[in-house]
Amino acid sequence: MFNSRALVVLALLLHSVVALVSAKGSNSTSKWQTLRGDAPLVIARGGFSGLFPGFSSAAYSLALATSVPDVVLWCDVQLTKDGAGICFPDLLLNNNSDIQDVFAKKDKTYLVNGVSTSGWFTVDYTFSDLANVFVTQGVYSRTNKFDGNMYPILTVEDVATQFKPPGLWLNVQHDIFFTQHNLSMRNYVLSVSRKVVVNYISSPEVAFLNGIKARVSPSTTKLVFRFLGQDDTEPSTKQTYGSLLKNLTYIKTFASGILIPKTYIWPVTKDLYLEPHTSIVLDAHKAGLTVFASDFVNDVPLAYNYSYDPVSEYLYFVDNGDFSVDGVLSDFPITPSAARDCFAHLGNNTSGQVKPLVISKYGASGDFPSCTDLAYSKAIADGVDHLTTVIPEIKAGSGIYTFSLTWEEIKSLTPIISNPWSRYTLFRSPRTKTAGKYLTLSDFLTLAQKSSSLSGVLIGVEYATYLAEEQRLSVTDAVIDALRKAGFDNQTALDVKIQSTNSSVLMKFKEKTKYDLVYNIEENIGDALSSTIEDIKKFADSVVIKKASIFPETQAFVTGVTNVVPELQAAKLPVYVELFSNEFVSQAWDFFSDPTVEINSFVLGVNIDGVITDFPKTAARYKGNRCLSEKVLPSYMSPVQPASLIQVVTPDYLPPAEAPNPTLTASDVIEPPLPSVESAPAPGPTGRSTVGAPPPPNRQPKIAAGFFLSSLAMLIATLFLL
């Protein structure tokens, strides 16, 4: 049985076969620090199991369509009651299939390596029994929307003949268990190796590898010893894997390589920070063993050193200056494919493409508290084009605002890092959560002037009407005065952009300055009237829009693409888009839990002019990747096709349709002029007083306007270093 919907993946999902065939397999100009100097392998565990049900036809198809040309497909081999070899992640069928519905109350209990284990075991069913059992998503934090496609359980022969992979890796995890049930994994593996090409065979059992080493051709099939936890006991030698790790010369007698958890190489502290790397890769290479690292996934919290960027994690293993592993085992093979071929060996001075402009949201605010000196300094070091900043912010409801405090009081405050995804228990760097100090606007401008890499600054101005009417403060005059005193009126090295959600603010700056003006459309829109765009051109030189105004979503699936970007660009208005974050929950399923895939899809797929991000290093690195200069774009650097994934979801699993985003009209953007500020000073605050919340600057509530104080007068400028 083979569901035809599985084939839809190749036709609908974003990447072309032409690009796959034409892509280069490795960076031929760089010397890899692998055992033999070859590019590290990308091994797809169960195919693209990070999205589709692992070991399904869809998962294997997508892995081939989105990975390097020499990708290796991984198959965990299990034996059925009649000796068929199936590709399935575990002895138990119940976590990754619907067998509980097909064979209700048929679970059993067996000893597995001495541990009592209950469930539905492969050894209790013939392959024909499993004809109506379908593969499902076994990781419950991943989407189950593809479970209705009735993906059949595949045999090893199915994977080899139907997909014809460049490489096939068979992993045998429980040879002793199968032997106890009168099934010979040894005989099966040797038999299937005579029918199809098997490039790698791995096992955590020494006896199994010793039993087949004389029966396989080392030039065709490599044997790899798989390490489990260092305190776990290897069942045939009764030694711990930690002790076996100390005897690599012994392992070389029955295997040509080792497969180890990634923490064997880069240990991680209890609070998720990297320790110095171990010597295991160098030691194994010295012993003549290849080293493969496992446990790579995009959708779990990574060590904070990686800033939630899975490409960065892979580069630590393949491009750290000391060594490179010989391959990585991943649920998301598109990510190591891009890391290997597009981002490894770039160096620090690689020039990138002109677009997109990288604008940091309040500095590197994913790594340090927003708008602090450390956040800005890291953003500059990360290669940002423009910076942004805020100090205390106006927000819905009552609160303590910057105009209620003096600068001396603000300086005494302790910054706190933002955690926008804490509801998913994803937190940003705890060791730096209160690091750094706030800057005045003049300090910010001085920092920008000292940088040789920045192209400019962007200052966001909000709530100007409220401040003028209720607080008798002119934020527009304060910003203009600060820029003048800093010499920005007379210099050309740094571009100055003024951003606001209010047309009245931008009109005031247009009357008094010659700075570039940026209109921030905070509402999610689905279209914009041509007459409205002409209205925007009267007061703005460029526009900021939300990601959902380009790729609308429903339940984290992209449902299409709007014409907003081409409409604005046709009117000569550059389009900057926010907010790009690295946390995987911030991205639609279509982007594979990979911020680089998301950025690429907006840049190459829609041709946006700039990205606004709180992790500027990821966006800055993207601009320098070598794959963008290829004549034929590799598959792993092709933009996603909007709504391709949701078309693979069966009707009974489809999320409910949502109303389309509204069209931007003149009433949304046209405002009366800013009120004048009376000459009398505003009443001074007494202590840390609270005041009622000011109204939102436009028709919908706004979030987080940024403010910079050199005194009570320097109040509401959101700063971006460009």
pLDDT in tens, 434-469: 999 998 889 999 999 999 889 999 999 988 888 888
- Give the domain extent around 67: 38-343
How many domains does the chain contain in total?
2
From 22-31, 618-627, 635-644, the region with the lowest mean pLDDT: 22-31
In a domain, 9, yes or no: no
- Nearest CA among 674, 680, 497, 656 for reference residue 576: 497
Q: Assign residue 463 the CATH number of its domain.
A: 3.20.20.190
- For residues 429 and 287, membership in a common domain is answered with no
In a domain, 370, yes or no: yes
From 264-278, 392-406, 692-706, the region with the lowest mean pLDDT: 692-706
Q: What is the DSSP letter of 471?
A: S
Spatial contact of 136 and 92, defined as CB atoms under 8 Å apart: no
Residue 159 identity = V
Residue 219 identity = S
- For residues 131 and 158, membership in a common domain is answered with yes
Residues 372-409: pLDDT tens digits?
999 999 999 999 998 865 423 454 455 566 777 778 88
Q: pLDDT at position 387, please?
A: 86
Burial code (b: 16+ CB inside 10 Å, e: under 16) for 448-457 equals bbebeebbbb
Write down which residue in 641, 664, 687 finishes a domain.
664
Spatial contact of 609 and 577, defined as CB atoms under 8 Å apart: no
Tokens (6 digits) for 135: 């593969």
Q: What is the DSSP letter of 698?
A: S
Write down which residue in 611, 631, 664 finishes a domain.
664
In a domain, 16, yes or no: no
- For residues 294 and 268, membership in a common domain is answered with yes
The Cα–Cα gap between 404 and 444 comes to 21
- 30 pLDDT band, cuts 50/70/90, is low
What backbone torsions phi and psi does residue 662 show, to the nearest 5 degrees?
-70, 165
In a domain, 30, yes or no: no
- For residues 88 and 142, membership in a common domain is answered with yes
User: N- to C-terminal Cα distance for the chain?
Assistant: 56
Write down which residue in 315, 343, 371 finishes a domain.
343
The Cα–Cα gap between 585 and 608 comes to 22
Whether the bond between 356 and the residue before it is cis, its omega within 30 degrees of 0, is yes
- For residues 584 and 636, membership in a common domain is answered with yes
In a domain, 28, yes or no: no
Per cent of the chain over pLDDT 70 is: 87
Number of Cβ atoms within 10 Å of the Cβ of 407:
18
- For residues 334 and 389, membership in a common domain is answered with no
The Cα–Cα gap between 157 and 136 comes to 20
- For residues 305 and 369, membership in a common domain is answered with no
Angle between helices 616-623 and 310-318 (to 10 degrees): 60
The Cα–Cα gap between 14 and 543 comes to 28
Tokens (6 digits) for 546: 């939300």
- For residues 180 and 325, membership in a common domain is answered with yes
- For residues 438 and 541, membership in a common domain is answered with yes
The Cα–Cα gap between 520 and 518 comes to 6
Q: pLDDT at position 70, please?
A: 97
- For residues 395 and 335, membership in a common domain is answered with no
In a domain, 269, yes or no: yes
Spatial contact of 486 and 442, defined as CB atoms under 8 Å apart: yes
Q: pLDDT at position 705, please?
A: 28
Spatial contact of 642 and 560, defined as CB atoms under 8 Å apart: yes
Q: What is the DSSP letter of 551?
A: S
* Residue pointed to by tokens 């209705």: 148
